Amino acid sequence: MRTTTLPVVRIGGVVANVAYSGTAPGFAGLYQVNVTVPTGLAPGNQPIQISVNGVLSNIATIAIAQ
């Protein structure tokens, strides 16, 4: 089931396209967010953060390959 509010995801400060936000199949109470990594990001570790209704998640790190 999809979430009623679409989150905003930023990777390296750039807004990523959210393809899906909702429950994870087979896992009660677990949600997933599928995004497309924006083009043009520098290789290496980049911060990723999710925002829903202005509430920010903790900042995590994602590795971007060349």
Predicted local confidence at residue 66, as pLDDT: 82
Predicted local confidence at residue 2, as pLDDT: 95
> Is 3 domain-assigned?
no
Full pLDDT tens readout for the chain, 66 residues: 999 999 999 999 999 999 999 999 999 999 999 999 999 999 999 999 999 999 999 999 999 998
- What distance in Å separates the CA atoms of residue 24 and residue 33, rounded to the nearest whole number? 9
Give CA separation, 58 vs 6, 47, 48, in Å: 18, 10, 9
Residue 24: give the domain boundaries: 8-64
> Is 2 domain-assigned?
no
> Is 41 domain-assigned?
yes
Tokens of 41: 């990001």
Predicted local confidence at residue 64, as pLDDT: 96
Number of domains composing the chain: 1
